[in-house]
Amino acid sequence: MNCVIIDDEELPRKILSQLIDSEPTLNLLEIFNNPVEALKFINTKEITIDLIFLDVLMPHLNGFDLIKSVPSHPYIILVSAEKNYALNAFEYENVIDYLLKPVQKERFKKAIQKVLQTQKKADINEIEKSSEIKESELYINSDKRLIKINIPEILIIEAKGNFIYIKTIDDNYLTYSSLKKIEAKLPGSIFIRIHRSYIINFKKIIDIQDNSILIGKEIIPLSRRYKAQLLSRLNLL
pTM: 0.57
143 φψ region: left (φ > 0), alpha (ψ -120 to 50), beta (else): left
Give every CB contact of residue 95 below 8 A, 6+ residues apart in sequence.
67, 76, 77, 78, 89
Separation CA 138–CA 149 (nearest Å): 5
Task: Identify the CA nearest to 83 among candidates 99, 96, 68.
Answer: 99
Domains in the chain, please, with CATH? 2-133 (3.40.50.2300), 137-233 (2.40.50.1020)
- Give pLDDT tens digits along the chain (237 positions): 899 999 999 999 999 999 999 999 999 999 999 999 999 998 886 778 999 999 999 988 999 999 999 887 899 999 999 988 888 888 898 999 999 999 999 999 999 999 999 988 887 776 666 555 556 888 998 878 899 999 999 999 999 989 999 999 989 999 999 998 998 888 888 899 999 999 999 999 999 998 999 998 899 999 988 888 888 888 776
Q: What is the pLDDT, as a whole number, of residue 189?
A: 81
Q: Is the dihedral of CA 26, 30, 31, 35 positive or negative?
A: negative
105-134 vs 10-21: helix crossing angle, rounded to 10: 60
The confidence score (pLDDT) of residue 201 equals 93
Residues 45 and 60 sit within 8 Å (Cβ to Cβ): no
